[in-house]
Structure 1
Amino acid sequence: MQKIVIAGQEIQPGEFKEIDINIARLPSHTVIDTPIYVSRGEEDGPVLALTAGMHGDEINGMEIVRRILDSGLHKPKRGVTVCMPIVNMYGFLNYSRDVPDGKDINRSFPGSKYGSLAARVAYHLMHQVIPYVDVGVDFHTGGAMRANYPQVRAVLKDETNMKMAEAFHAPFTIDAPFRPNSLRKEASRKGKNIIVYEGGESLRFDQQAIEEGIAGTMRLMKHLNMIDVAPEPREENRIIWSTSWIRARNAGLFQSNVKCGQLVMKGEWVGTITDPFGEFKEEVMASETGYVIGLNNIPVINAGDALMHLGMDNFCKLDQPAVE
């Protein structure tokens, strides 16, 4: 059988092991470790990484990986799962997207052994985990009180990414270019295929997003021949080839007239911006025909703020008449 080594420790067939990666020490002398949970099946197969909590306030991804561990779904028949429920322990402890120095870990790859806190976390991940995995799912949520409908993001021109996304079968699959210095981009440089799952918003559990993330992971594991059974999808998978933001033309109080996941037509009334002093009321219209893949939940908005994220599949690309 093949030799499996994760973070310097060999994993034997049928073995489950918890490995702690020491990242740094706080001024209080508190040691910050990142725990990794590795489970190997009795037979050879791919090594799948499940990472969450890259941003410390994105708890839906953490809950997805936690439930996978808690229910024993991380135990494959074939291959290896590498589960990291919280990559950014600093941010998790402080309800924050970033680390204490204000940097974003997912914009700090490939990292530096002696760099900023964010760069050090990225460095350890790139050197102790990523070289030893084959594929992965990086779990995220919307940020700043913006909710994302369950969706997978990947570069779809890559055949492996497309097959992984199709197997995961989230309600939406978005053709998304690499973000500079992200885990997904730097892992691809090493020949590793990582897709991103987005669902819900920061600091708030979203049961639908959590359940879709777990079920999608099981379907991906079945596709990889790591397990034999997986849940059937509950929604159709729509491939989103382009996206567009609806932004506020004026400051005020925003109330949405639609829900995440909903199809809206070009020219359709999707929300209202009002002045808190009753001086004006403005109807917000859809600029394109598309699905609401992301929705702002903050009532108080400024001019130019993102209100709604629309995703267009092949159907939406057809010339749709405006709603009168």
Structure 2
Amino acid sequence: MKNKALQLLGESILPGESKTIDVEIAKLHTMAKLKIPVIVERSKIEGPIVLFSAGLHGDEINGTEIVRQLIIQKINKPKKGTIICIPIINIFGFINQKREFPDGRDLNRVFPGSKTGSLASRFAHFLVKEIIPVLDYAVDFHAGGASRFNAPQIRIIPNNSELKELAKVFNAPFTLYSKNIQGSFRNTCTKLNVKMLLFEGGKSLDLNNAITQEGIEGTKRFLSHLDMLSLKHETTKSNNDTLFIEKSNWIRAHYSGMFIGLVKIGSFVKKGTVLATISDPFGKVEHPVRATANGYIINVNDAAIVYQGDAIFHIATQINT
């Protein structure tokens, strides 16, 4: 790509050029145009092409805030190569503050999509045909759904030494080995040889500054590793190395009732530790929720009311450094 224009979404972006491309995929039912900004920054020096994306699920706005901060702090202006930012992929869900597309489908389950399929499927097809083919790397930012708060973590497929090295570089508190899900954005990127890290942190419809900072600092370390971080920015070293999670279990509610969590996200707990209580609203019964094993709490249910069978804690039980 040396000294050549990058062809993207019908536009030519020259070395050293900045361009925002407003992409119109579909219209609202009112016939109003709905455009998705794709923000491209190219260095004059040849290098990798990296995507930072968020909002694949429309209610996961903490990821959008991370990408927004990369833009306003000019972290997305690379020393070399090209950085593409899409702060909101599912603009429909973002407007409605919902996870899904208007057709009720989860965009992250319909890849690679279809040109003539449902609205979500058509959008997945657009990403596969227009964005993914130019990429070398991607970091996709997510948050926990259904009132569940995720500790900041990177998710990668097992047995991939290059992704493991990139996860070490990003250095989130936790790295979870997680198989690709059929129909997911990550699975499609893997098939098309794009090296992707999936970041999880916080919960839906919420902004958390600590999560945002973890995402920003990890991104700077990631770009520095690729020799793409501008000299204007400095990286910070985390106090601890990421912990690789090889096995984890969900703790589910045995009772329905009012839920009061007692442990902090990211905490190490011992088997038998009381993690929460579930109570009836009339002051007659109170049930303790105990840790089923030694491990780190990597997800906590923040709901005030839970039902029997609800997932309430995700505990990492097998850790490697």
Aligned residues: 316
In 1, Cα distance between the equivalents of 2:205 and 2:194?
A: 30
Match of 2:29 among 27, 30, 33: 27
28-37 or 56-65, which deviates more: 28-37
Q: Does 1:241 align with 2:220?
A: no
Q: Map 1:176-195 to 2 at 5 A.
A: 176-195=178-197
Residue pair 2:243, 2:319 contacting (<8 A) in 1 also: no
8 A contact 1:8–1:128 mirrored in 2: no
Output the CA distance in 1 between the equivalents of 2:79 and 2:163: 23
Question: Deviation string for 1:180-224 (max 9, x for gaps)?
Answer: 100000111111111110111111111010000011011000111
Q: Report the residue type matching 2:14 in the other structure.
A: Q
Identity %: 40
Post-superposition shift, 1:134?
0.5
What TM-score results when the alignment is normalised by the length of structure 2?
0.95
User: What residue number does 2:75 align with?
Assistant: 73
Q: Distance in 1 between matches of 2:90 and 2:30?
A: 18
Counterpart of 2:205 (choices 200, 203, 206) is 203
For 1:241-260, what per-residue CA distance to the aligned partner results, in whole angstroms no more than 9, with x for missing partners? 11111100111111111010
Aligned to 2:168: 166
- 1:122-160 Cα distance to aligned partner (Å, 9 max, x none): 111111100001010000001111110111001131122
Which segments of 5 or more consecutive residues in structure 1 lack a partner in the other structure? 317-324
Q: Does 1:274 align with 2:275?
A: no
- In structure 2, relative to structure 1, the CA distance for the partners of 1:314 and 1:58 (3 Å cut) is closer
Task: Write the distance in 1 (CA, Å) between the matches of 2:308 and 2:94.
Answer: 31
Larger displacement relative to structure 2 (11-20 or 235-244): 235-244
**Deviation of 1:235 (Å):** 4.2
Whether 1:257 aligns to 2:227 is no
* 2:214 counterpart residue number: 212
The corresponding residue for 1:285 is 290
Cα separation, 2, equivalents of 1:273 and 1:146: 16
Counterpart Cα distance in 1 of 2:3 and 2:246 = 39
Q: Is the 8 A contact 1:184 1:193 kept in 2?
A: no
Letter in 2 for 1:306: A
**Equivalent in the alignment of 2:303:** 298
The one of 46, 49, 73 aligned to 1:47: 49
Alignment partner, residue 123 of structure 1: 125
Deviations 1:152-182 (A, max 9, x none): 0011311221111111100101111101100
Aligned to 2:140: 138
Q: What letter matches 2:177 in structure 1? A: D
Q: What whole-Å deviation, never above 9, does each CA across 1:73-124 have from its counterpart, x for those lacking one? A: 1000111101000000000100111111111111111011121111111111
Quote the Cα distance in structure 1 between the aligned partners of 2:43 and 2:315.
Answer: 41
Offset of 1:315 from its aligned partner?
A: 6.6
Aligned to 2:59: 57
- Following TM superposition, the consecutive aligned residue runs of length 4 or more in structure 1 with deviations greater than 6 angstroms are none
Does structure 2 retain, via aligned residues, the 8 Å contact 1:150–1:172?
yes
| Alignment TM-score, normalising by the size of structure 1 | 0.94
User: Residue 311 of structure 1 aligns with which residue?
Assistant: 316
1:156·1:175 contact (CA, 8 Å) conserved in 2?
Answer: yes
Give the letter aligned to residue 142 of structure 1: G
Find the residue that maps to 1:241 and give its secondary structure.
Answer: strand
Most deviating of 222-231 and 25-34: 222-231
Measured in 1, the distance between the counterparts of 2:121 and 2:151 equals 30
Query: Helix, strand or coil: the match of 1:314?
Result: strand
| Alpha-carbon offset, residue 71 of structure 1 | 1.1
Tell me whether 1:87 sits opposite 2:89 in the alignment. Answer: yes
